[in-house]
């Protein structure tokens, strides 16, 4: 299993950039924790420099990743500048890199910019001694990326930023460059906006089930695109109408009316609503078999998703969890 160091920039007394009362260290940590959860769900071994708001030491963090034998490292940051706010995403990699750090930088850039951020490119940055400017790139010996996700001092970038989506994007980049080899391929990574070709029987199975149950006419191609995602929400709206006598418009948009009609789904539940929650988790890359039975695997996937989304980790897929699950696909 690939070993990935997922680091959060700054922390504790080092706030990183601060703009409009938002601290860079907190956003970095939220993305880093969500990304770590997703990668672990998909079978990676993950090393963190911090999982809470504590001081970090770059030299020690670099040594930790080296000693651990990380196959790759990604350190999450937010960009900032003085004067007129910049905008968009850029990725830094080491001048020592032999190829895969650059690839991870490019894949990360592609995935984050697919969420709607401006493409500022990938680059190296050297100091006066001709070494990497940034310690984590200078002091580590594996492919490494310092990710400047977006500009914290740009209100538009900040509005656009969804921690969970960014984590998903970084996870898909890691999977692209450091895939898990072996007999059971990971579920298809969720798209960073452009759709992706999962192709697994799992996704086809979901499309086919949605067609049978809800007459959606989806193309059964294994590709997780907007129609498939909307199809799951349409299915949920249909079930809420059929089973609970609601009169929701079946439009594939999980808005306030759907949210207030949503029911708590938890361990022991069975049926089509459980299936739809499982299907959404599956398409987002969580390890769960959509079978309509809410067992321990489903509960673990719900908890992991809740943690990534910053929700209470109770394993119950209620209205808040479903809203997070069905929104911003």
Minimal distance, residue 143 CB to Zn ion, in Å? 20
Q: Is 77 in the site for Zn ion (CB under 5 A)?
A: yes
Q: Is 86 in the site for Zn ion (CB under 5 A)?
A: no
Using CB under 5 A, which of 9, 188, 222, 290 touches Zn ion?
A: 9
Write the DSSP symbol of residue 13: T
Token duo for residue 12: 């504790």
Minimal distance, residue 49 CB to Zn ion, in Å? 13
Minimal distance, residue 135 CB to Zn ion, in Å? 12
Q: Mark the segment that binds Zn ion (CB under 5 A) among 1-9, 161-169, 250-258, 289-297.
A: 1-9
Nearer to Zn ion by Cβ, of 108 and 196: the residue is 108
* Per-position b or e across 232-257, b if 16+ CB within 10 A of its CB: bbbbbbbbbeeeeebebebebebeeb
Q: Does the annotation count 148 as an active-site position?
A: yes
What residues between 13 and 42 interact with Zn ion by CB under 5 A?
A: 16
Nearer to Zn ion by Cβ, of 16 and 222: the residue is 16
Q: Tell me how far the alpha carbon of residue 290 is from its chain's centroid.
A: 20
CA distance 216 to 228: 9
Nearer to Zn ion by Cβ, of 116 and 135: the residue is 135
Nearer to Zn ion by Cβ, of 76 and 236: the residue is 76
Q: Mark the segment that binds Zn ion (CB under 5 A) among 5-13, 112-120, 216-224, 289-297.
A: 5-13
Q: Is 56 in the site for Zn ion (CB under 5 A)?
A: no
Active-site residue among 24, 75, 90, 148? 148
CA distance 33 to 75: 11
Q: CB under 8 Å to 209, separation ≥6 — which residues?
A: 275, 279, 290
Q: CB under 8 Å to 283, separation ≥6 — which residues?
A: 187, 188, 190, 203, 206, 224, 228, 229, 232
Nearer to Zn ion by Cβ, of 32 and 110: the residue is 32
Minimal distance, residue 16 CB to Zn ion, in Å? 4
- 8 A C-beta contact, residue 177 and residue 107: yes
Nearest to 112 by CA among 84, 88, 96: 88
Active site residues: 148
Binding site residues, Zn ion, CB under 5 A: 9, 16, 77
């Amino acid at each position: 299993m690939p070993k990935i160091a997922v680091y959060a920039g700054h922390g504790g007394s080092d706030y990183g950039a601060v703009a409009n009362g938002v601290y860079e260290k907190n956003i970095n940590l939220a993305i880093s924790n969500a990304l770590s959860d997703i990668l672990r769900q998909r079978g990676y071994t993950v090393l963190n420099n911090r999982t809470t708001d504590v001081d970090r030491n770059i030299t020690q963090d670099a040594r930790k990743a080296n000693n651990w034998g990380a196959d790759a490292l990604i350190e999450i940051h937010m960009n900032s500048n003085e004067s007129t706010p910049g905008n968009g995403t850029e990725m830094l990699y080491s001048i020592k890199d032999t190829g895969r750090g650059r690839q991870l930088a490019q894949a990360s850039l592609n995935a984050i910019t697919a969420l709607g951020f401006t493409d500022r490119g990938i680059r190296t940055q050297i100091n006066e001694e001709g070494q990497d400017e940034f310690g984590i790139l200078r002091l580590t010996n594996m492919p490494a990326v310092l990710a400047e996700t977006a500009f914290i001092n740009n209100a538009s970038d900040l509005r656009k930023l969804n921690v969970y989506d960014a984590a998903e994007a970084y996870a898909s980049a890691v999977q692209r460059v450091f895939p898990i080899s072996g007999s059971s391929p990971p579920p298809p990574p969720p798209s960073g906006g452009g759709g992706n070709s999962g192709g697994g029987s799992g996704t086809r199975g979901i499309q086919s089930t949605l067609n049978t149950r809800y007459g959606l006419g989806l193309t059964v191609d294994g590709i997780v695109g907007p129609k498939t995602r909307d199809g799951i929400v349409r299915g949920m709206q249909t079930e809420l109408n059929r089973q609970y006598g609601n009169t929701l418009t079946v439009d594939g948009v999980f808005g306030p009316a759907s949210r207030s009609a949503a029911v708590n789904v938890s361990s022991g539940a069975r049926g089509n609503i459980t299936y739809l929650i499982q299907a959404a988790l599956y398409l987002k890359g969580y390890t769960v078999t959509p079978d309509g039975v809410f067992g321990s695997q489903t509960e673990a996937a719900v908890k992991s998703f809740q943690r990534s989304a910053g929700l209470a980790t109770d394993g119950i897929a209620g209205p808040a969890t479903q809203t997070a699950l069905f929104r911003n696909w």
